[in-house]
Structure 1
Amino acid sequence: MDFLQEVQRLWTDQLDPRVADFPLIQSSYYVPLIIFAYLYFVLRCGPRFMKNRQPYSLKTFIKLYNIIQIVANTWLFYDYIDAGVFKSSNLVCSQVLDFSYDYIPMKLYKATFYYFLLKILDYVETAIFVLRKKNNQVSGLHLYHHISTLLLAWIATRYFAFGPTLFNFALNSFIHVIMYTYYFLAAYGPNIQKAIAPMKQWITIAQMVQFVILIIYASQNFLPGCKVVKHWLAIIYIGNLMINFYLFYNFYQKAYNKPKRKI
């Protein structure tokens, strides 16, 4: 009961005052509704709509979408660097919790809010899978990763939009620049896909390395004098990273380490 009361208190009383004018962030209902609508479309409404239809091509739309993702993630990564996320004062045992309206804290906050919006835009990728009848790509890994990442971005923007907790978003934006560059090139057809095929495996490895780095980084919260957030929040965050790592590792094993058939 004490734990639930603590969660309720944090949820209502610890809201970052800078989010007062952002309804998507401030509201306790909009993001859950977005996630529900997303799941309803990709698991039920979309497949039902496409049941007796030919898959859409969407080649031009896919290229445009990937360009937007590349530009947006590059800009966010630069913004985080410019705001000092990778400075040692922010990375190692930092307890600088600055919620002011000064230039750097606001720069970090705006970048975090735009990152949150980008995680909603990521849902378009799943809709493309459905409309192209690539149902095998709408996997448990894909759904869990997209949902957990949006929830993490939402909670961080509500409560933790300061240097020490935003290393995750900066690193993720960097990985997404590489990933969407691959998708953009792959949209040009089988010949290009064949040429860049090795890149796909290394992107999966990079994603797993990302999770390992973030697990190690988040674990410093348990060191003496390094506590930034409450330990139970850090445990939930690290648990989510471990689940993502396991799902990506399982995918990697199935996709790239298939046992060779005996002749």
Structure 2
Amino acid sequence: MLQQIQEVGSRAMDFYGDLMAGVDPRLKGYPLMWSPVPMTIILLSYLFFVLYLGPRIMAKRTPFQLKEPMIVYNFMLVALSVFIVFEFLMSGWATTYTWRCDPVDTSNSPQALRMVRVAWLFWFSKIIELMDTIFFVLRKKHGQITFLHIFHHSFMPWTWWWGVGYAPGGMGSFHAMVNASVHIIMYFYYGLSAAGPQFQKFLWWKKYMTAIQLIQFVLVSLHATQWYFMDRCDYQFPVVIHLVWIYGTLFFILFSNFWVQAYVKGKRLPKQDIKHHQNGTTVHTNGKVHENGKLHENGKLHENGKCYENGTSSLINHTATNGTSNGSAHYENGRAHNGKMKKA
């Protein structure tokens, strides 16, 4: 029995040695590239925190606001993504690549080494982006931690470690450049969203973010598909093309399902805080009761723009009971209130 275990261990070590022998030697000095073990530990720790430890730590805690850190984080990723796209273009895609069959340049030329550097930087940006989910956990935004989100954030860095290790460049890097381009737009949106309500009017294009993602996967799959119709292609790692094609197709299906659920069926749109009764007499919102034009809250009576409490009166501003102040009309007791805000 002991001898069999030793034989299995010996074979595993030989397999691991052969596997690591194929890693591009130009990457040996880059952080986290000497072995897949550190990267795997990081991703397993990420999954353990966001799925188990984090929610339990935050269960009885007040959600963190994290406004300033999130603004800095998102706009930092915008700048990093811009740099990555520029480097991909200068390393080949805007200089020597044909956008069809482009092999990996395995030389030590300045341009080849530049491609190696940006390929690693793109992979490392996927490790940084794990903070997306960490912010969700700390802010108790559990509705945002979906299977699609977690799968995308863990699957991408794990597979791209091998892609960078074996094929830093060539036609297999096309989807990295496209993905970084999409992330410029995406993290710019997140940065504005984190900045506060005063920027909400600039975020009307939220639903188109998913459309941009879908276009990304179509482009990636189409670019990989052309390899199957070429008479000859000297790209050294066809397995990367297969994985890229599977990646583009799989995520197109997953994001299409998200689009249908969110924007066709409306299941993932923000839920209204208000429940209107059919008889138009009572509206419950956030523990408050609106009845016949009066708002009863914590023993106070708000009526006709005045607040009566302990025999005194004070003027208050009217707010739209549907939770918005964008001029939308609110219907109550069969009458339409003007959507514009009226100050008392």
TM-score (norm 2): 0.69
Quote the Cα distance in structure 2 between the aligned partners of 1:212 and 1:88. 24
Partner amino acid for 2:102? Answer: S
Larger displacement relative to structure 2 (60-69 or 182-191)? 182-191
1:78 alignment counterpart? 86
Quote the Cα distance in structure 2 between the aligned partners of 1:17 and 1:259. 50
Q: Structure 2: 5+ residue runs without aligned partners? A: 1-11, 268-277, 279-344
1:167 alignment counterpart? 174
2:160 alignment counterpart? 153
Partner amino acid for 1:27? Answer: S
2:76 alignment counterpart? 68
Query: Structure 1 residue 82: deviation in Å?
Result: 1.4
Partner amino acid for 2:23? Answer: L
Q: Judging changes above 3 Å, is the alpha-carbon distance between structure 1 residues 225 and 176 closer, same or farther for their aligned structure 2 residues?
A: same
Q: Judging changes above 3 Å, is the alpha-carbon distance between structure 1 residues 86 and 149 closer, same or farther for their aligned structure 2 residues?
A: farther
Whether the 8 Å contact between 1:57 and 1:132 is mirrored in structure 2 is yes
Query: Structure 1 residue 28: deviation in Å?
Result: 2.4
Larger displacement relative to structure 2 (28-37 or 80-89)? 80-89
SS of the residue corresponding to residue 42 of structure 1 reads helix
Partner amino acid for 2:143? Answer: N
Matched, 1:186 2:186: no
Identity of aligned residues (%): 29
SS of the residue corresponding to residue 99 of structure 1 reads coil
* Correspondences of 1:222-237 after superposition (within 5 Å): 222=228, 223-226=230-233, 228-237=235-244
Q: Which has the higher helix share?
A: 1
1:31 alignment counterpart? 39
Runs of 4 or more consecutive aligned structure 1 residues displaced over 6 Å after TM superposition:
7-10
Q: Judging changes above 3 Å, is the alpha-carbon distance between structure 1 residues 120 and 240 closer, same or farther for their aligned structure 2 residues?
A: same
Query: Structure 1 residue 156: deviation in Å?
Result: 1.9
Quote the Cα distance in structure 2 between the aligned partners of 1:170 and 1:146. 17
Which of 86, 93, 99 pairs up with 2:101? 93
Quote the Cα distance in structure 2 between the aligned partners of 1:233 and 1:98. 15
Which of 52, 64, 69 pairs up with 1:44? 52
Whether the 8 Å contact between 1:221 and 1:227 is mirrored in structure 2 is no
Matched, 1:255 2:262: yes
Whether the 8 Å contact between 2:167 and 2:237 is mirrored in structure 1 is no
TM-score (norm 1): 0.89
Partner amino acid for 2:246? Answer: G
Query: Structure 1 residue 128: deviation in Å?
Result: 0.1
Partner amino acid for 1:143? Answer: I
1:202 alignment counterpart? 208
